[in-house]
Amino acid sequence: MSQPVVFDRPLQSEFRLAREEFLRRVLPPWQSALGLRSALDVGCGVGHFSALLRDLQLQVTAFDGRPENIAEARKRHAGVDFRVADAEEFASSSSGVFDLVLCFGLLYHLENPMRGMRNLRALTGKLLLLESMMVEDDQPFLLLLDEPAGDDQSLRAVSCYPSEGAIIKMAYRAGFPHVYRFRQLPDHQDFRPGIGRARARTVIAASVSALDAPALLPATEPKPSGDLWTTDPTGITKALRRLGRNFRHSRAKKRS
């Protein structure tokens, strides 16, 4: 019998179901268009998304850093090759390359997210779908934060929480030639702003070949310029930068 785990709690289940609905909406058209046959679920927990990929008729491999999660996943979901592995250390040389790589809810738990992104690129044959907590900012930066204890948290004591710009830049620098935002994110409060709270999560697609899909918006690589150590007591520079970002966003919306 399967044992209740943190991933089965009501709030976690509600969040998971919203992301599952998102995947069922976006994946089938790409299965046909890109010829997706194999999939890797990175940081799979107890295998909920792995089972969804299996049910979409993909050949699925999945790994997680906690042996207890993999033991539970094997009890729950037949037909998936579950393995114990660390996303920061996992190498493609021993596992091959997968048409689709899914990495949901993991990147911000890593101590070395750039290393993790490079590993994801090495494992991706065609398409990476990545969901993560983030700071809603186009500037690429990472926040080093203490990681709380928990079965669904980091394997280490600290994590690097990225800005959305950092996720996009890391994807480009890891070697993905095409990176995209989604026009419509999962239907959950974490993916939209609320009163007194900014949007907390995002999903990106990073691909080996260009994607032509109405659901996507091309994401350009953030390239900060200027002297980061210049002070501006008047606040004028900061205001001009904010106006510039708003102007670029306005132009991008008009083009779309």
Q: How confident is the model at residue 18 (pLDDT cuts 50, 70, 90)?
A: very high
Q: Are 215 and 183 in contact (CB under 8 A)?
A: yes
Question: Which of 85-99, 141-155, 160-174, 240-254 is most confident?
Answer: 160-174
In a domain, 147, yes or no: yes
In a domain, 243, yes or no: no
State the pLDDT at residue 102: 98
In a domain, 37, yes or no: yes
Q: What's the mean pLDDT when you consider all of the chain?
A: 88
Q: Give mean pLDDT, residues 134-157.
A: 77
In a domain, 180, yes or no: yes
Domain that holds residue 113: 6-225
Q: CATH code at 56? A: 3.40.50.150
Q: Say whether pLDDT at 154 is over 70.
A: no
In a domain, 237, yes or no: no
Burial class (CB in 10 A: 0-12, 13-18, 19+), 176: buried
Total domains present in the chain: 1
Q: Say whether pLDDT at 7 is over 80.
A: no
State the pLDDT at residue 159: 86
Long-range pairs for 22-27: beta carbons < 8 A, 24 or more residues apart: 22/185, 22/186, 22/187, 22/203, 23/49, 23/52, 23/102, 23/129, 24/52, 24/56, 26/129, 26/182, 26/215, 27/56, 27/100, 27/129
In a domain, 133, yes or no: yes
In a domain, 62, yes or no: yes
Q: Say whether pLDDT at 249 is over 80.
A: no
In a domain, 65, yes or no: yes
Give the count of beta carbons closer than 10 Å to the beta carbon of residue 62: 29
Q: How confident is the model at residue 237 (pLDDT cuts 50, 70, 90)?
A: low
Residue 176 Cα distances to 128, 130, 152, 190, angstroms: 9, 13, 28, 26
Concatenating the DSSP letter of every residue in 76-88 gives: H-TT-EEEE--TT
